[in-house]
Amino acid sequence: MATILDGRATSAAIKDDLKKKVEAMVAEGKNPPHLVAVMVGNNPASKAYVGNKIKFCGEVGFKSTLLQFETSITEAELLAEVDKLNNDPGVDGYIVQLPLPEHISEDKVIETVHPDKDVDGFHVQNVGKMVAGLPTYLPATPFGITKMMEHYGISASGKNVVVIGRSHIVGRPISILLSQSRPYGNGTVTVCHSRTQNIKEICAEADILVVAIGKANFVTADMVKEGAVVIDVGMNRVEDASRKRGYKLVGDVDYEAVEPKASYITPVPGGVGPMTIAGLMLNTYQSALNRK
């Protein structure tokens, strides 16, 4: 029987703390942190994610603004909107919800966000600072995972950490953070990806397994060492006729089979997802503290 790494409870604790800090800020006569979410089109998953971010803002006393644009917005028009946010002193931080439509370069948009307002931590300047171990905005999901580890007292120090996935948003940055000399870091990290051979054998050596590959039930029980910590970043919609929505959310791990072998495991939903939102909010609060 594994201990559940409860992302809802952990993010609620962070919420309580942030709420008090915002109240103190406002009592000093300062404006509360202000997060803007930019959304293009109406992808249902993106809508839900943006909704989660706006809701969290309300719960901690942040100001939030949702900017919605039609799928037909041109790249130049979107970049002009980003530029406006960069120059608006009333905006502490903002996110551009990904994915963007095909005709818009995500890289161009990310590099146009001013690094001081880049609360997603995706700008190359902030990625560089992260790699160098300098203070910066950490990408929300890896940041949230480290906060979850901190909350449960799980350190990577001296442990075999295996990360499945090398995306710029999750796999790559979490692999860097957990290998760095920092609290809860100092792990021996292996990154697996689509060209990895013997992935099952490598995973079976992991003391801490972080899975961010985007394939339902990718990690099976034979890939998990007895007593491992299993962190499932997957968010997959699979058909489920018994639900009124017609689908259910599952991670990248075969939860039922893996849970009995794990010492700690994140559920999906209610695991890493809420911690991602908490990470974004911590960055936004930090941005408000950094106001010039």
Positions in the binding site for ligand BQF (CB under 6 A)? 49, 52, 98, 235, 268-270, 273-274, 276-277
Least Å from the CB of residue 269 to ligand BQF: 3
- Given the complex with ligand BQF, which of 142 and 274 has the nearer CB atom? 274
- Given the complex with ligand BQF, which of 151 and 190 has the nearer CB atom? 151
Least Å from the CB of residue 158 to ligand BQF: 30
Strand blocks (E) in the chain: 3-4, 34-40, 63-69, 93-96, 160-164, 188-192, 208-211, 229-232, 236-239, 247-250, 264-265
Is 97 among the residues known to form the active site? yes
Which of 53, 117, 147, 225 does the annotation list as catalytic?
Answer: 53
Least Å from the CB of residue 193 to ligand BQF: 17
Q: How far apart are CA 229 and CA 155, in angstroms?
A: 10
Name the residue whose CB lies closest to ligand BQF.
273
**What are the backbone dihedrals phi and psi of residue 210, each rounded to the nearest 5 degrees, phi first?**
-110, 125
Which of 92, 118, 120, 232 does the annotation list as catalytic?
Answer: 120
Burial of 33: CB neighbours in 10 Å, binned 0-12, 13-18, 19+: buried
Is 84 among the residues known to form the active site? no
- Given the complex with ligand BQF, which of 6 and 207 has the nearer CB atom? 6
- Given the complex with ligand BQF, which of 25 and 106 has the nearer CB atom? 106
* Residue 72 near residue 43, CB atoms below 8 Å: no
**What are the backbone dihedrals phi and psi of residue 227, each rounded to the nearest 5 degrees, phi first?**
85, 5
Which of 92, 97, 159, 232 does the annotation list as catalytic?
Answer: 97
* Residue 284 near residue 64, CB atoms below 8 Å: no
Least Å from the CB of residue 120 to ligand BQF: 9
Please compute Rg for the chain using Cα positions: 19
Active site residues: 53, 97, 120
